[in-house]
Structure 1
Amino acid sequence: MEASSDHEDNLKRDRGIRNFVTAEDVARLAGVSRSAVSRTFTPGASVSADVRLRVQEAAKTLGYRVNRLARSLISDQSNLVGVVGANLSLPFMARQLDELSRALLRRGMQCLLLNAAEAEQGITPLIELILEFRVRAIVVMSGSPPSSIIDDCVANGVRVILVNRQADDAETDTIISDDLGGARLAAGRLLQAGCRRIGVVGSGARTPTQLRRRVAFAECIEEAGIEPVVWASGETTYETGIEAAEGLLASHDLDGVFCVTDLLALGFLDGARRMGRRVPDDLSVIGFDDIPQSAWVPYHLTTVRQSMSDLTEAVLTAIEREMHGKDMDLVHEVLPVELVERATVRPTA
């Protein structure tokens, strides 16, 4: 058997096939035990200075890297955090993922990203796949996992953190921005500007975030005795914003519009200007999210800001909480928002 193994190794070398350098390879070159190599690369472990130096020199010579996945299987403690998200190219989602992944790295954790854009059967298969990597926690940025898969996660000691979405009667951490409060801020600001012919623009995506914002805004406008005009069609894109402007403004003489995302609002602004509407003189527009593009000079969009740093910190706090089986201490946090005044709403009437 040993001769056969040597022969296979020689064949691999001859063919240019290379394997990962193992701890056993380092131990052989350094003339130490396998456990000495492990202790050398384990913070706080006891190893003599001479052995540590020999192991480090051998590792450098061979190009050895610690197999952290294998180590997590042995220690039952992973530094991997699974992240499930869709529409990752949207500005708000891209920024959220960027900040979260960088924050995880600063805390010594790694991001395992699964794109749910084509998860036709829901996100359950993705979460099942993530569990196979023995992750420390799962952050769900898109979709709503059923309680059955959440129970499996909890049984395996894995926290499930839902961002801007909720699961009924499930053992999950939930972190959402104050969509209801933000929509009310937008409604109040348009009313203060003297707007009385008001519309609300969303896409055809019935995400929890969009529904909360659209419904809360409409309720506030109705309380003021105004029946809002609603657009809820298409994808959540800049192009849908243009379509909404062309469709609504051609049939309604609106003087105020709330778009449930900034991306829709930017498209709406450009569509309205193409139709000769002057912003904010003829038409006031408010968005939601405060994506970087909202502050660009051609738009200077008045919007509702949700703090990305607060959102990221809340997710990290949830990840780092200890698990205690079914009695674990869950995080349920609603993050405050604020209205950012720029140049797309008339002064208060």
Structure 2
Amino acid sequence: MVASSDREDQLKRDRATRNFVTAEDVARLAGVSRSAVSRTFTPGASVSADVRHRVQEAARTLGYRVNRLARSLISDQSNLVGVVGANLSMPFMARQLDELSRALLKRGLQCLLLNAAEAEQGVAPLIELILEFRVRAIVVMSGSPPSSIIDECMANGVRVILVNRQDTDTEADTIISDDLGGARIAAERLLQAGCRRIGVVGSGARTPTQIRRRVAFTDCIEEAGIKPAVWASGETAYETGMAAAKGLLGSHDLDGVFCVTDLLALGFLDGAHGTGRRIPEDLSVIGFDDIPQSAWAPYRLTTVRQSMSDLTGSVLATIEREMHGKAISLVHEVLPVELVERATVRSST
């Protein structure tokens, strides 16, 4: 019989040509079967106290870690959740990803992130790649996958959750904030403040979220008999807000502006200050998202808040809903929003 120290020396020599410790290595050092190692690290599996102790000691000695990816390949339940997103450095997207990834970890789930910033062919190839990892669900934060990819995911028992992306051509779970209601709230607040020369600022990105907000705001303003000035070019960035302030305020004597994202609004505020406009005495400004920077002292932006905790909770609840083949019960949820009053809108008249 080979002594334990001899087995350990042999294992160290064997590992000289490998980069990781296997379950077979642990089994050899502990003097047990490979299946005993598997049972030791499987919650609820039957294994004697003596075998469990020997396996755990061997695992500590060798620095063994369970290969959870391999385990998910042979089990019916994966702990991986694929997340597809772009513009990950943008404040709202970064906060959304931070909260979602931390919440997944608390639930014992792991986030597999794919950056769609350079996805020239759309998100379909990225979703096909994620499927190869046998993920439990796919959360799409950017782009709109084609229905054929959605069908393939469902056939493999994988939920596809579109976040703030409403696509009527695909059968997927959708969770969106009430962009239409939020835009109307912003319009009504500017009208209450006595604004009558009103503009709306978006970027040239033409994302579903921006389009919904801009159109809903414009409709509400036009119902009041006002034709708003519209800016819709450039990237969704602070610099675009600056450019919009220079362009719109240089050609229109505006007294109220709605920016479809806070990042645009912050740039617009700084650009407006550069033209000599006083906020809110000369010009009232409202944003949308309530990113952390909106509350900073130099801005104190009045904005429409969408609850990040509600959004994250709804995504988690959707992930954890059971699927029964093609008899899947789809989720279509619209999350409420609210106006956060700070210092960039005049008091109601």
* TM-score of the alignment, normalized to the shorter chain, above 0.5: yes
Match of 2:79 in 1: 79
Cα distance between partner residues in 2 of 1:246 and 1:295:
23
Matches within 5 A, 1:173-192: 173-192=173-192
Which residue is equivalent to 2:278?
278
| Residue equivalent to 1:102 | 102
* Seq. identity, %: 86
Aligned counterparts, 1:30-45, within 5 A: 30-45=30-45
How many Å apart are 1:328 and its aligned residue? 0.7
Question: How far apart are residue 171 of structure 1 and its match?
Answer: 2.4
Look up the SS of the partner of 1:348 in the other structure: coil
Deviation at 1:20, TM superposition (A): 1.1
Report the 3-state secondary structure (helix = DSSP H, G, I; strand = E; otherwise coil) of the residue aligned with 2:189: helix
Distance 2:76 2:307 in 1: 34
CA offset digits 1:178-200 (Å, max 9, x no partner): 00000000000000000000000
1:154–1:171 contact (8 Å) kept in structure 2? no
Counterpart check, 1:328 vs 2:349: no
Give 3-state SS (helix, strand or coil) of 2:333's partner: strand
Return the offset for 1:18. Answer: 3.5
2:277 & 2:251 partners in 1: Cα distance? 14
> Contact 1:182–1:338 at 8 Å: present in 2 too?
yes
State how many pairs are aligned.
339
Aligned equivalents of 2:170 and 2:233: distance in 1? 31
Contact 2:15 2:21 in 1 (8 A): no
Judging changes above 3 Å, is the alpha-carbon distance between structure 1 residues 226 and 314 closer, same or farther for their aligned structure 2 residues? same
Partner of 1:252: 252
| Amino acid aligned to 1:202 | G
**Matching of residues 130-169 of structure 1 within 5 Å:** 130-169=130-169
Distance in 2 of aligned mates of 1:168 and 1:72: 33
Q: Hey, what does 1:3 align to over in structure 2?
A: none
Alpha-carbon separation, structure 1, partners of 2:246 and 2:256? 15
1:163 and 1:11 mapped to 2: Cα distance? 48
AA aligned to 2:180 is L
8 Å Cα contact 2:83-2:140 kept in structure 1: yes
> What are the equivalent positions in structure 2 for 1:312-327 lying under 5 Å apart?
312-327=312-327
Return the TM-score normalized by structure 1.
0.96
Q: State the 1:10 CA deviation.
A: 6.0
Equivalent in the alignment of 1:203: 203
Match of 2:296 in 1: 296
Change (3 A) 1:56 1:12: closer
Match of 2:54 in 1: 54
Write the distance in 2 (CA, Å) between the matches of 1:216 and 1:96: 24
Q: CA deviation at 1:114?
A: 0.2
Shift of 1:12: 7.2
Task: Letter of the 1:309 partner, please give it.
Answer: S
Structure 1 unpaired stretches of 5+:
1-8
Write the distance in 1 (CA, Å) between the matches of 2:126 and 2:326. Answer: 23
- Name the counterpart of 1:126: 126
Write out per-residue CA displacement over residues 57-76 of structure 1, whole angstroms, 9 at most, x where no aligned residue: 00000000000011111113
CA displacement 1:141-177 (0-9 Å, x = unmatched): 0000000000000000000000000222422110000
Partner of 1:6: none
Residue identity in the other structure for 2:75: S
- Code of the residue aligned with 2:54 in structure 1: it is R
Change in 2 beyond 3 A, CA 1:308/1:281: same
3-state SS of 1:75 partner: coil
- SS state at 1:45 partner: coil
Helix, strand or coil for the counterpart of 2:103?
A: helix
Give, as a single letter, the amino acid of the residue that structure 2 aligns with 1:78.
Answer: S
Write the distance in 2 (CA, Å) between the matches of 1:155 and 1:69.
21
**How do residues 261-276 of structure 1 correspond to structure 2 at under 5 angstroms?**
261-276=261-276
Report deviation, 1:25. Answer: 0.3
Check conservation: 1:175, 1:334, Cα contact below 8 A: yes
- 2:3 maps to none
Aligned partner letter, 1:278: R
Over the residues paired in the alignment, what is the CA RMSD in angstroms? Answer: 1.3
Distance 2:169 2:230 in 1: 32
Structure 1 counterpart of 2:158, one-letter code: V
Matching of residue 307 in structure 1 with residue 307 in structure 2: yes
Larger deviation, residues 167-176 vs 52-61:
167-176
Answer whether contact 1:238 1:266 (CA < 8 A) is retained: yes
SS in 1 for 2:74: helix
- Does the Cα contact within 8 Å between 1:161 and 1:175 map onto a contact in 2? yes
Q: Which blocks of at least 5 consecutive residues in structure 2 are unaligned?
A: 1-11
- Match of residue 5 from structure 1: none
Q: How far apart, CA to CA, are the structure 2 residues paired with 1:95 and 1:84?
A: 15
Structure 2 CA distance for aligned equivalents of residues 11 and 25 of structure 1: 9
Aligned to 1:216: 216
Letter in 2 for 1:138: I
Q: 1:338 corresponds to which residue?
A: 338
